[in-house]
Amino acid sequence: MPDYCFESSPLKSLAYFALDIGLITGLYAIAYSLDSWFFFPLFWLMQGTLFWALFVVGHDCGHGSFSKYKGLNSLVGHLSHTPILVPYHGWRISHRTHHANTGNIDTDESWYPVTEAKYEQMPWYEKLLRFYLP
């Protein structure tokens, strides 16, 4: 990948964040104006995707990759996580703990591998739900 892909640009980051907010607002306006039950499943799919985009923006803020300015990262992190009902600082702290302990059965707060003994004790439907279905 070219080097410019790894250069931080607060203006570019803010522009993409503004685009996400604009698309979300536009979709709400369309849903309001159409007021059609036929449109709502498509609306839910699109808004869910855009809400995921908001989460990714907050995720980048939490990692400090949105910008090199801690205050801007904190502000945008709050603004991006509030609409999706994720408390930004609590998430940021637990996510940092997760990265420090990824895959550790005893200390990872977000995800941990299941021991072989625990796997053998699981009923078939739990194995199916946990390991084979999305």
Tens digit of each residue's pLDDT (9 = 90 or more) over 2-12:
988 888 899 99
What tens digit of pLDDT does each residue of 113-131 get? 788 898 999 999 999 998 8
Distance CA 123, CA 58 (A): 37
Q: Rounded to a whole number, what is the distance in angstroms from the first to the last CA of the chain?
A: 31
User: Looking at residue 22, what is its pLDDT?
Assistant: 98
Distance CA 35, CA 99 (A): 43
What tens digit of pLDDT does each residue of 38-93 get? 999 999 999 999 999 999 999 999 999 999 999 999 999 999 999 999 999 999 99
User: Where do the domains of the chain lie?
Assistant: 3-87, 101-134
Q: Which residues contact 116 (CB under 8 A, 6 or more apart)?
A: none
Q: Which residues contact 65 (CB under 8 A, 6 or more apart)?
A: 8
What tens digit of pLDDT does each residue of 77-91 get? 999 999 999 999 999
